[in-house]
């Protein structure tokens, strides 16, 4: 009855452990004198509450399980940072998991997070089928999806408008005279990729262009695979005049293929990438990209989740707006002296569209 922990504090302050608990959690009125004595005891003992014991009793650990396909993907890196910041600001901490687009890993992590009694989950779900994640909504596990959604799963989704993003990018390419825009897609099927493909189609339709299936190339996002895929694209005849890469994970492969095929970008082939990233504006040529409000998405995801945890109903968030950041790789700006040229666009030519 006198151990350390809360009991030690209680003894030192000459009160019951219940009282200590109440001042610690502000869970009941405690008279100022007792409160003061408890606080002093806490301080002099350097008492640190045991969150495990607390969580065992309460049934939930102040932890958010975060599941992304790969923290190394710049988009998810940024998202994770924003989530961690916002979570910490409201008293939660982040348990991280990488799914690598594997359903198996995803399920294993969800199990682990639940076995930890994580207060809630934020997940960028693998695939686009409900699968076992449907269980979450059914079991009343507080969860929000980020970036991607799953058809028929009643979990709030924090996302940006992928169809719009791809539409803007494709429109831009078409407007600046590109005849054949090839789509390079990663081989996983997620709502994001589907929506982006739709946006691409919509833009084609606006220009009265047919959707040509053999301009759509799907392959593994691993660097070597993306490289070979792009080589195949470049070898197609007639050669596409521009490439729209739907995953930033594939950029390196695309650029390497340009190098190996001695393709001058944007002169020979233009390039637009979905998602911005570090150094993108210093690449030769600077990369035109669709940029998502990543940090905001992370923040909103936590806000949404915390609202669920507190039972305060919050409207499902609207899709945020992506924007097109026009740099030089799309080829819409002056190019200077012909083939082989790789000069950057002057800084003043960089502009944004929404």
Partner DNA sequence: TTGAAAGCGCTAACAC
Partner DNA sequence: GTGTTAGCGCTTTCAA
Of the CA atoms within 13 Å of residue 332, those in its CB half-sphere come to: 22
Give the shortest CB-16-to-DNA separation in angstroms: 3
Own/partner contacts of 113-117, CB < 8 Å, gap of 24 or more, are 113/65, 113/67, 114/141, 116/61, 116/63, 116/65, 117/55, 117/59, 117/60, 117/61
Asked if 251 touches its own copies (CB under 8 A), the answer is: yes
Give the shortest CB-2-to-DNA separation in angstroms: 10
Asked if 224 touches its own copies (CB under 8 A), the answer is: no
Contact (Cβ atoms closer than 8 angstroms) between residue 232 and residue 204: no
Between 34 and 95, CB nearer to DNA: 34
CA distance 27 to 21: 8
Between 163 and 184, CB nearer to its own copies: 184
CA distance 160 to 263: 33
Give the shortest CB-351-to-its own copies separation in angstroms: 16
Pick the binder of its own copies from 6, 41, 42, 80 (CB under 8 A).
80
Burial grade of 162 (CB within 10 A; 0-12, 13-18, 19 or more): buried
Contact (Cβ atoms closer than 8 angstroms) between residue 112 and residue 136: no
Residue 226 binds which of DNA, its own copies, none (CB < 5-8 A, kind-dependent) = none
Q: Residue 268: which of 344, 207, 178, 203 has the closest Cα?
A: 178
Between 49 and 223, CB nearer to DNA: 49
Site for its own copies in 161-220 (CB under 8 A): none
Determine the interface stretch with its own copies among 20-28, 48-56, 180-188, 205-213 (rule: CB under 8 A): 48-56
Give the shortest CB-111-to-DNA separation in angstroms: 13
Site for its own copies in 100-119 (CB under 8 A): 111-112, 114-117
304: helix, strand or coil: helix
Give the shortest CB-58-to-DNA separation in angstroms: 5
Cis peptide before 328 (omega within 30 of 0): no
Do the strands 351-353 and 323-326 form a parallel or antiparallel pair, or are they unpaired? antiparallel
Pick the binder of its own copies from 69, 98, 230, 247 (CB under 8 A).
98
# of chain residues touching its own copies (CB under 8 A): 50
Between 114 and 216, CB nearer to DNA: 114
CA distance 227 to 255: 8
Determine the interface stretch with its own copies among 95-103, 122-130, 202-210, 227-235 (rule: CB under 8 A): 95-103
Q: Sign of the CA dihedral 4, 10, 16, 19? A: negative
- Positions that interact with DNA (CB under 7 A): 3-7, 14-19, 21-22, 24-25, 27-31, 33-34, 49-50, 53-54, 56-58
Cα angle, residue 22 at apex, residues 18 and 28 outer, rounded to 5°: 115
Footprint of its own copies (CB under 8 A) = 48-53, 55-56, 61, 63, 70-72, 74, 77-78, 80-81, 84-85, 88, 93-98, 111-112, 114-117, 251-252, 255, 259-260, 277-280, 282-285, 342-344, 347
């Amino acid at each position: 009855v006198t151990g350390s922990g809360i009991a030690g504090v209680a003894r030192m302050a000459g009160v019951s452990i219940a009282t200590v608990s109440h001042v610690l959690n502000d869970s009941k009125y405690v008279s100022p004198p007792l409160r003061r004595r408890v606080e002093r005891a806490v301080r002099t003992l350097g008492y640190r509450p045991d969150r495990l014991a607390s969580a065992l009793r309460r049934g939930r650990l102040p932890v958010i399980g975060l599941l992304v396909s790969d923290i190394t993907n710049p988009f998810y890196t940024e998202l994770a940072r924003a989530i961690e910041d916002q979570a910490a600001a409201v008293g939660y901490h982040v348990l991280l998991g990488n799914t690598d687009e594997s359903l198996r890993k995803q399920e294993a992590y969800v199990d682990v997070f639940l076995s930890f009694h994580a207060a809630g989950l934020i997940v960028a779900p693998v695939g686009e089928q409900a699968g076992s994640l449907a269980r979450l909504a059914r079991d009343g596990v507080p969860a929000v999806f980020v970036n991607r959604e799953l058809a028929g799963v009643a979990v709030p989704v924090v996302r940006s408008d992928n169809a719009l993003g791809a539409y803007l990018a494709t429109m831009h390419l078409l407007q600046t005279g590109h005849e054949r825009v090839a789509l390079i897609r990663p081989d996983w099927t997620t709502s994001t990729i589907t929506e982006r493909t739709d946006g691409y189609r919509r833009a084609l339709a606006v220009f009265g262009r047919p959707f040509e299936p053999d301009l759509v190339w799907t392959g593994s996002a691993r660097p070597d695979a993306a490289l070979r895929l792009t080589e195949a694209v470049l070898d197609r005849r007639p050669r596409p005049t521009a490439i729209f890469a739907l995953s930033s994970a594939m950029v390196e492969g695309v650029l390497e293929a340009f190098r190996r095929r001695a393709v001058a970008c944007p002169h020979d082939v233009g390039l637009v990438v979905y998602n911005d990233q570090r150094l993108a504006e210093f690449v030769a040529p600077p990369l035109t990209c669709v940029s998502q409000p990543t940090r905001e998405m992370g923040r909103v995801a936590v806000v949404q989740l915390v609202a669920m945890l507190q039972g305060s109903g919050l409207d499902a968030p609207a899709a945020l707006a992506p924007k097109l950041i026009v740099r030089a790789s799309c080829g819409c700006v002056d190019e200077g002296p012909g083939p082989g040229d790789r000069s950057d666009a002057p800084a003043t030519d960089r502009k944004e569209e929404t």
